[in-house]
Amino acid sequence: MSMKRQKIIRLTLTYLVVLVMFIIILYPLAWIIGSSFNPGQSLSGSSIIPKNATLAHYKELFDMEKSNYVYWYLNSLKVSILTMIFTVILVCLTAYSFSRYRFVGRKNGLVTFLILQMIPNFAALIAIYILATLTKLIDTHLGLILVYVGGQIPMNTWLMKGYLDTIPKELDESAKIDGAGHLRIFFQIVMPLATPIIAVVALFAFIAPFADFIIASILLRTEKNYTLAVGLYDLVAKQFGAEFTTFAAGAVLIAVPIAILFLSFQRFFVSGLTAGGTKG
């Protein structure tokens, strides 16, 4: 009997913990969704389930004359997608040459990449700021994308090189004997086999610029050029209490699509990050 009682106690405690965690996780999310439907600009007198729910704040965000929110959204998508494309191209090329060729300087190159991936690329933010000013790349998305892509290369090169190393070299050697050139081996033999890791790198390269605040806040100067992170912070920091409900609507519009996207790609994330951790 005691076995059974033990089991009941254990399961009850488990469900209790899970319940508490559900509340802790869902309460902030419910609060922000509720706030976004609350009438009025500030939160005083608001409640999670608003009495006179309104879509006014969402409409306000899409009013291009009053709000830059749509610009921010498009900017973020543009920067993230372009960063993703360039990162994938450059990382494929560097990782492939590190994995498949033995050339002078390879060892030093790998060690350099290893050290560079340890230093967060915003550590040199003063330099990035001054350089961008000098090259007139300040307040442009091009400058931002270049910094993001450069920062992504070392870590993702290691990640992808680790994966490419597991694709047997006999494959490209036999192709070489059959007369395939360098480019042909790269495009038609190795890259198709590397699709899973390309997906992981693409995902990382998309998410990182989307979530970045620090570099974007240094480089972007005019409100229309802001990305979502900078814009949303601006919305909050300027007049905190005063525009909180608008902010809430903006936050919901980011969180929902990203969360859905994320949950559908979740497997990739876990496998990618674990691989990145063990492979260096």
Applying the rule CB under 8 A, the residues between 134 and 163 that interact with another protein are 134, 146-147, 149-151, 153-154, 157, 162
208/127 Cα distance (integer angstroms):
21
Please write down the long-range contacts of 93-98, taking CB distance under 8 Å and 24 or more positions apart.
94/153, 94/157, 95/156, 95/157, 95/158, 95/159, 95/160, 95/161, 95/164, 96/164, 96/186, 96/190, 98/157, 98/161
Q: Which of residues 91-120 bind another protein (CB under 8 A)?
A: 91, 93-94, 96-98, 100-101, 103, 106-107, 109-111, 114-116, 118-120
67/263 Cα distance (integer angstroms):
30
22/29 Cα distance (integer angstroms):
11
Q: Which position among 69, 163, 206, 247 is part of the footprint of another protein (CB under 8 A)?
A: 247
Choice between 160 and 225, CB closer to another protein:
160
Q: Are 76 and 142 in contact (CB under 8 A)?
A: no
Secondary structure (DSSP) of 187-204: IIIIHHHTHHHHHHHHHH
Pick the stretch among 6-14, 56-64, 67-75, 197-205 that binds another protein (CB under 8 A): 6-14
Q: CB of 37: closest distance to another protein in angstroms?
A: 15
Q: Does 232 bind another protein (CB under 8 A)?
A: yes
Helix (H) or strand (E) holding 71: helix 69-100
Picking from 202, 177, 172, the residue whose alpha carbon sits closest to that of residue 188 is: 172
Q: CB of 256: closest distance to another protein in angstroms?
A: 9
Choice between 37 and 98, CB closer to another protein:
98
Q: Does 20 bind another protein (CB under 8 A)?
A: no
Q: Does 123 bind another protein (CB under 8 A)?
A: yes
Q: CB of 55: closest distance to another protein in angstroms?
A: 19
Q: Which position among 3, 24, 49, 177 is part of the footprint of another protein (CB under 8 A)?
A: 24
Q: Does 176 bind another protein (CB under 8 A)?
A: no
178/254 Cα distance (integer angstroms):
51
Q: CB of 63: closest distance to another protein in angstroms?
A: 21
Picking from 28, 80, 14, 41, the residue whose alpha carbon sits closest to that of residue 246 is: 41
Q: Does 229 bind another protein (CB under 8 A)?
A: yes
Q: Does 274 bind another protein (CB under 8 A)?
A: yes
> Residue 215 has which token pair?
């570099």
Q: Which position among 52, 195, 222, 278 is part of the footprint of another protein (CB under 8 A)?
A: 278
Choice between 42 and 140, CB closer to another protein:
42
Q: CB of 242: closest distance to another protein in angstroms?
A: 10
Choice between 56 and 275, CB closer to another protein:
275
Q: Does 240 bind another protein (CB under 8 A)?
A: yes
Site of tokens 């699709």? 195
